[in-house]
């Protein structure tokens, strides 16, 4: 394996070596022009049912072969045999089809450019399921699809499957439905009336309510019509949320209830547009001293337009740098909320490195320090305590940043979201919660703003790690027997701590002798055993902060090439990136945990590997497959390998 010691992550970027905006714009314009021509041809032709080569491709796909008879076209497209013949003849006259007489049928038809069936991008729309399947989509198509659809599965052989959900339409960046419809037609290469009708209904839902600021300074909830106000808002909300009606379509909002109103109406299927005049606090000029990549600039632009949002992207995609771009846009005093004091220190260091701010302008507020400055980084725990309310109230924050914002919906963290009058920005690699409350993240903080993971992989901004699940046999019969007689969670713990994994970790490290490696464990006893076997320190929640910092810095400076770390590394500290990650245990926890651990190898340089160890024949096998499925849907390739006892 190549040892990429000098590679830098997107969070450490100084310039953008992948500046291909001119080429991308040209491609986009060309595609746009081509689709505009197609739409004009369709609109200007008296025969709305004109047969095209795309129709032939649809029929060939349905029949499952590239060469068709008129009877097959008739059957696939529900035409009479005479109509099918006429349309095939017309298409052949235009040079798009060729005829071939054979003994079993008077004529068969095939495209003039037969390879077109295998080389061309293919888009199939299933309006009833609101799904789109794309075979070999180019980057422009994926960029267009990501504006109104969610990538559910990415499989090189079976294509890309997108699902259009209500939330995707509610959060689309378009200013009008006409703009959204144009994007859909460019992405699909066709017009799907049934899908557009449903999308239009969701667009209307997303524009029925909005919050505005009255000229006297209080907040008003506005509805598009008296009917929607009476039948929805006034049925769902009560005196805890609004004072009284102002008109048939307006209610006077109680101060501090904005978040609750947005959550309640969102759950009712009516997201609220937030058009209030948000406070920017005391002016704080901030210059960003690093160039944003195109996709990061897009994130910042969308945040600037809405005043709120959640940057969603894989680890290593530069969400922290993009957040500093948002700080520079607001130019106001900023409160950053993080899960731990380790991350607070890392944020302070990054702000010093990548912005024009100086050390005396940056403070930390947590168990170790209590500094409130123009930019203050505080932990969620401290921010949620009543006795520290002054942290919120003593300064007019212009921007509040929620790092690892998947924490926000939990009861202890949600208290901080009363800051609804400020610009709000969340950051998350994977805003997934196992309690299915992730939609609250977007209602409390803002809509998702992100980029297709696969697009970042292909563009070279983030390296796609190779991920392999390795099924390891038991290290000794004692543990195997204990597993057979155990119940519930104890069963999983025994499989996770399988001593056979020690030999497997040794083997993988020896197989990649030049790699910088991180080994993850979920259990302290297992960590201590591995620490002794590998003769390396074990970094866990019991490790003092100063010792943690020393070990991490040694790894960053290439003075140490192996870290052994507990689940404290999943969130709460900014781990250095590595060439090799070995997950010895811990995939039974959550999908988010799998994302965080796999993400430690994501950076611009390629060649990274992730190995997930699971004890063969146990529930751990199923856990590993389940928790990594969503990474496969994001475009990562996942392999599986059974390890034979003694083969290594």
pLDDT, mean of residues 547-572: 80
- Same domain flag for 239 and 262: yes
**Which among 250, 270, 290 is the end of a domain?**
270
Same domain, yes or no, for 264 and 136? no
- DSSP assignment of 297-330 equals HHHHHHHHHHSEEEEE--TTS-HHHHHHHHHHHH
Q: Provide the pairing of β-strand 517-520 with 580-583.
A: parallel
Report which of 272, 112, 158, 298 is spatially closest to residue 208, judged by C-alpha positions.
Answer: 272
For 162-214, the pLDDT digits (tens) are 899 998 898 887 889 999 999 999 889 888 999 999 999 999 999 999 999 99
How wide is the angle at C-alpha 95 spanned by C-alphas 90 and 98, nearest 5°? 85
Least confident of 23-27, 154-158, 322-326, 576-580: 23-27
Higher-confidence residue: 248 or 388? 248
Which of 108-122, 302-316, 464-478, 519-533 has the lowest average pLDDT? 108-122
Cα atoms in the Cβ-side hemisphere of radius 13 Å centred on 112: 10
Q: Mean per-residue pLDDT for 525-551?
A: 90
pLDDT at 583 > cutoff 50: yes
Task: Tokens 């140490």: give the residue.
Answer: 560
Bigger pLDDT: 129 or 420?
Answer: 129
> What's the pLDDT at 411?
53
Of 270, 299, 323, which residue is a domain's last? 270
The average pLDDT across 424-431 equals 80
Residue 299 within a domain: no
Residue 16 to residue 10: CA distance in whole angstroms = 9
pLDDT range class, residue 481, cuts 50, 70, 90: very high
> Quick one: 171 and 257 in the same domain?
no
The sign one gets for the Cα dihedral 102, 107, 112, 113 is negative
Using one digit for the tens of pLDDT, what is the confidence trace for 358-388?
A: 999 999 998 878 899 999 999 888 877 777 7
CA distances from 371 to 355, 358, 359, 565, 601 (A): 20, 15, 12, 30, 34
Query: Are both 631 and 542 inside the same structural domain?
Result: yes
- Number of domains the chain is built from: 3
266 and 166, same structural domain? Answer: no
Query: What DSSP character marks residue 355?
Result: B
Count of other CB atoms within 10 angstroms of residue 344: 25
Please tell me whether residues 193 and 238 are part of one structural domain: no
Of the listed ranges 19-28, 142-151, 275-284, 428-437, the least confidently predicted one is 19-28
pLDDT band at 41 (very low <50, low <70, confident <90, very high): very low
The model's confidence at residue 416, banded by pLDDT at 50, 70 and 90, is low
Domain stop point among 157, 182, 205: 205
Residue 61 has pLDDT above 60, yes or no: yes
Q: Are residue 236 and residue 182 in the same domain, yes or no?
A: no
Q: Are 170 and 206 in contact (CB under 8 A)?
A: yes
Place of tokens 């295998």: 118
Q: Which residues contact 161 (CB under 8 A, 6 or more apart)?
A: 131, 132, 133, 151, 152, 153, 154
Same domain, 144 and 253: no
Q: Is 214 found in the same domain as 199? A: no
Q: Do 503 and 623 fall into the same domain?
A: yes
Higher pLDDT, 474 or 568: 474
Which is more confidently placed, 46 or 151?
Answer: 151
Mean of the per-residue pLDDT values of the chain? 78
In a shared domain, residues 132 and 266: no
The region of weakest confidence among 36-45, 125-134, 348-357, 505-514 is 36-45
In a domain, 373, yes or no: no
Q: Is residue 342 part of a domain?
A: no
**pLDDT (mean) for 288-307:** 91
More confident residue, 301 or 62: 301
Domain extent, residue 159, equals: 128-205
- Which tokens hold the place of 640? 């599986």
pLDDT on residue 18:
35
Say if residue 46's pLDDT is above 50. Answer: no
The pLDDT score that the predictor gives to residue 285 is 93
Does 249 lie in the same domain as 196?
Answer: no
Inform me whether the pLDDT recorded for 330 exceeds 90.
yes
Kind and range of the H or E run holding 399: strand 399-402
Q: Give me the pLDDT at residue 247, please.
A: 96
Q: Whole-angstrom Cα distance, residue 628 to residue 638? A: 8
Encode pLDDT of 82-114 as tens digits. Answer: 888 888 888 888 877 877 765 445 677 766 655
pLDDT recorded at residue 312: 85
- Give 601's pLDDT tier (boundaries 50, 70, 90): very low
CB proximity list for 244: less than 8 A, separation 6 or greater: 251, 252
- The set of residues, in sequence order, having a beta carbon less than 8 Å from that of 190 and lying 6+ positions away, is 54, 123, 125
Residue 347, domain member (yes or no): no
- Give the containing element (helix H, strand E) for 92: helix 81-93
N-term to C-term CA, the chain: 18
Residue 342 scores a pLDDT above 70: yes
CATH of the domain at 593: 3.40.50.300
């Amino acid at each position: 394996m190549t040892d990429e010691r000098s590679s830098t992550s997107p969070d450490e970027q100084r310039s953008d070596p992948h500046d291909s905006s001119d080429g991308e714009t040209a491609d986009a314009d060309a595609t746009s022009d081509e689709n505009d021509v197609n739409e004009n041809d369709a609109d200007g032709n008296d025969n709305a049912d004109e047969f095209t080569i795309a129709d032939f491709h649809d029929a060939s796909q349905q029949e499952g072969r590239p060469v068709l008879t008129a009877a097959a076209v008739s059957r696939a497209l529900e035409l009479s045999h005479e109509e099918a013949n006429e349309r095939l003849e017309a298409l052949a006259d235009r040079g798009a089809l060729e005829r071939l007489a054979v003994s079993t049928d008077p004529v068969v038809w095939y495209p003039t450019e037969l390879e077109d069936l295998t080389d061309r991008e293919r888009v199939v729309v299933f309006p009833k399921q609101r799904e789109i399947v794309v075979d070999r989509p180019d980057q422009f198509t994926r960029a267009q699809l990501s504006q109104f659809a969610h990538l559910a599965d990415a499989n090189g052989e079976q294509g890309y499957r997108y699902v259009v959900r209500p939330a995707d339409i509610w959060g689309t960046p378009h200013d009008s439905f006409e703009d959204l419809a144009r994007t859909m037609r460019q992405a699909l290469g066709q017009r799907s009336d049934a899908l557009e009708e449903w999308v239009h209904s969701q667009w209307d839902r997303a524009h029925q309510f909005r919050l505005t600021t009255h000229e006297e300074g209080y907040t008003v909830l506005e509805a598009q019509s008296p009917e929607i106000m009476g039948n929805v808002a006034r049925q769902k909300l009560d005196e805890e949320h609004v004072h009284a009606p102002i008109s048939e379509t307006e209610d006077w909002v109680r101060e501090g209830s904005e978040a609750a109103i947005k959550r309640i109406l969102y759950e009712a299927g009516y997201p609220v547009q937030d058009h209030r005049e948000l406070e920017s606090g005391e002016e704080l000029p901030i210059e960003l001293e690093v160039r944003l990549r195109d996709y990061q600039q897009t994130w910042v632009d969308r945040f600037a337009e809405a005043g709120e949002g959640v940057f969603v992207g894989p680890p290593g995609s530069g969400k922290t740098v993009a957040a500093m771009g948002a700080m520079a846009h607001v130019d106001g005093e900023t409160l950053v909320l993080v899960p731990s004091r380790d991350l607070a220190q890392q944020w302070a260091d990054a702000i010093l490195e990548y912005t024009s701010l100086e050390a005396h302008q940056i403070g930390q507020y947590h168990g170790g320090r209590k500094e409130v400055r123009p930019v203050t980084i505080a932990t969620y725990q401290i921010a949620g305590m009543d006795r520290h309310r002054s942290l919120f109230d003593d300064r007019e924050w212009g921007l509040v940043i929620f790092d690892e914002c998947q924490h926000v919906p939990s009861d202890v963290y949600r208290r901080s979201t009363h800051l609804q009058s400020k610009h709000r920005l969340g950051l998350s690699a994977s805003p997934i919660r196992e309690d299915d409350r992730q939609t609250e993240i977007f209602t409390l903080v803002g809509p998702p703003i992100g980029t297709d993971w696969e697009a970042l992989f292909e563009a070279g901004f983030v390296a796609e790690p190779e991920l392999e699940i390795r099924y390891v046999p038991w290290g000794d019969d004692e543990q195997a027997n204990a597993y057979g007689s155990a119940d519930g969670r104890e069963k999983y713990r025994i499989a996770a701590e399988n001593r056979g994994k020690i030999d497997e970790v040794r083997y993988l490290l020896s197989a990649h002798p030049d790699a910088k490696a991180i080994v993850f464990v979920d259990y302290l006893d297992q960590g201590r055993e591995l620490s002794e076997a590998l003769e390396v320190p074990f970094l866990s929640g019991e490790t003092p902060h100063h010792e943690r910092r020393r070990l991490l810095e040694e790894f960053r400076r290439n003075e140490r090439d192996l870290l052994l770390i507990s689940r404290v590394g999943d969130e709460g500290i900014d781990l250095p990136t590595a060439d090799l990650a070995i997950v010895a245990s811990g995939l039974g926890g959550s999908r988010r945990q799998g994302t965080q651990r796999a993400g430690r190898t994501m950076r611009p340089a390629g060649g990274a590997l992730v190995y997930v160890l699971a004890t063969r024949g146990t529930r751990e096998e199923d856990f590993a497959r389940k928790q990594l499925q969503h990474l496969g849907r994001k475009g990562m390739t996942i392999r599986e390998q059974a390890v034979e006892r003694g083969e290594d």
